[in-house]
Every structure is written in C-alpha cells, then in structure tokens.
Structure 1
C-alpha cells in the first residue's frame, strides 16, 4: 500500500512565493540614522502581536514583551532575555504596546541607551508605522 499525500492548504509555506513569510506573518525591514549610527529595524507582524528587532549588527542581547491590561493604563511588561537592569527594551515595548494596543516583543541591541537617542529610535519606528500600517 502506497502512502497517501494529504492536500496542502493554499497558504502553506510550500505554496508561498520565494522569500515570502507564511500566511499571517508579515516581515518588514527598514533602517535609519540616529546621529552618526546606522540603525537597522526588523519588524515581524504576527496575528495579534509584533516582534521588533533594533540593532546595528546581528545579535539578540535583550528581549522584552509588553501588552495592554484592562486593569491598568500602563502596559505590563517583562524582560525575557538579557540584563534585567537594562530597561530599554521594556520601556520601548511598553510605549509601542500603548500605541498599537498589541502584544509587543522588542529586542533592542544598541549600546546607546541615552533617552534622546531612544526617542529618536522610537520616532523612526512610529514614522515607519504611519507610512506602512499594514506591516505593523
């Protein structure tokens, strides 16, 4: 007896065009300058959440998650990876969760944690969100 092949869903990764993400996932890469530094951004929109990576070189040194709570006006957040005393990923995730009303994962991988630098990074993200809302 020969094994049967099951029909595949039209949105399965096997039927996706080369380089495309599986159905329900949207990938978006962009970059910007913060002072003298070139900063890369990688956004991965999932069904009800967003993963945002910020860095200058390939690394995953920190990861935080934040989401809105019906019990508090400030989104709840926690650090999932990295130095718990560095709250940059946490605070950025909280502010983006408040803006989008989604669960937000943020991996901030830059050495500069100066508040004016972070504000520039956040404004660049918001600018991209306004230009390409379907990607976020």
Structure 2
C-alpha cells in the first residue's frame, strides 16, 4: 500500500512486474535498459531477463515529482523527475570491494557539474549494497533535493523488495 503521509499519487503512477518488451517507459529509458544489462553482465547468459518496476509520486512545492524504480539483477535504476520521459542526466554508483561504506560514482550522461544524481546514487549504493543508476531531472530549486532524497529513503525503508 502507498504511504499517504505527505504525498499522494500524481497522474498515472503505479507499480507492477514486467518483462523488457512489456514496459512503456519512453525511448531513452528503453535504450538505457539495454546498456544496463550489458553493464550488469546479464547479456549472453541463459538467465531469464525479468525486470521489476515500481512507481510512486508526491507533490513538492506545488509540482508533481514522479519516481520510477527499475529493478535489475543486483542493480537498479531510479528515475526522478517532474516531466515524464525526460532523461537529461545519468549517474552510477557502486560500492568498493576494498573500503567499507565507500561508493564510487560517475556521471554517464549530462552536466558533470550537476552532482544531484551522483549524491543520490552514492547514498543508495551504500544503503543497498547494489550498483545504482540514478537520473534526477528536477527544477533547480535548492530545497527539492533533500525532500526528494527523504521521500526516496522512506520508500526504500517501506518497500526494500522494490529496489
């Protein structure tokens, strides 16, 4: 059940299980899924490709903020934005095998000076122990990021099986 405290569904948000061909997530994210499969090592194996998705949204500063989580094998993608199907940046974080509580991040797509996706990816990688891809497509409002991170961490706490 969706946590209704301080948030509600904006538009068509939902959750479900889907296979790669069943998800309508826009052209950019569909191409990204193929790249992520390659990076996670699932290409060329006989393993069944099953992707799980989880969607939720909330209102912040009179704007509807959408969250989309695409769960892969030992990794996941989090897309955050106010405009559906907009992919302006992408960061990835992975935990270090040698140093505990350390996650390395890099920007794969977008402005290298915008560290919002890196910050979220790093926190999620440390918390989950998984490789995390994050696309954060939000207006340049300074108060947005802490609220978005708090909402995302609440969802992770309430639904850890979705990440």
**Both proteins in one fold, TM over 0.5:** yes
Larger gyration radius, structure 1 or structure 2 = 1
Deviation at 1:74, TM superposition (A): 2.5
- Give the Cα–Cα distance (whole angstroms) in 2 for the partners of residues 86 and 33 of structure 1: 23
Gaps of 5+ in 2: 1-15, 20-48
Count the aligned residue pairs: 117
- Give the Cα–Cα distance (whole angstroms) in 2 for the partners of residues 113 and 70 of structure 1: 35
- Give the Cα–Cα distance (whole angstroms) in 2 for the partners of residues 112 and 75 of structure 1: 25
Deviation at 1:131, TM superposition (A): 1.9
Moved more, 121-130 or 39-48: 121-130
Residue 76 (str. 1) matches residue 104 (str. 2) = yes
Q: What are the equivalent positions in structure 2 for 1:98-113 lying under 5 Å apart?
A: 98-112=126-140
Deviation at 1:20, TM superposition (A): 4.1
Which protein is richer in strand relative to its size?
A: 1
Residue 123 (str. 1) matches residue 150 (str. 2) = yes
Partner of 2:94: 67
Deviation at 1:124, TM superposition (A): 0.6
Partner of 1:33: 59
* Cα distance change, pair 113–92 in 1 and its aligned pair in 2 (3 A): farther
Gaps of 5+ in 1: 1-18
Deviations 1:67-110 (A, max 9, x none): 11023332100000001111111111001111111100000001
Check whether the contact 2:17–2:51 (CA below 8 A) recurs between aligned residues.
no
TM value normalised by structure 2:
0.67
**Coordinate RMSD, CA, aligned:** 1.6
| Ranges of 4+ aligned residues in structure 1 off by more than 4 Å | none
Deviation at 1:119, TM superposition (A): 1.2
Deviation at 1:127, TM superposition (A): 1.1
Deviation at 1:45, TM superposition (A): 0.7
Deviation at 1:134, TM superposition (A): 1.3
Partner of 1:55: 81
Residue 88 (str. 1) matches residue 91 (str. 2) = no
TM value normalised by structure 1:
0.79
Deviation at 1:132, TM superposition (A): 1.6
- Give the Cα–Cα distance (whole angstroms) in 2 for the partners of residues 65 and 113 of structure 1: 23
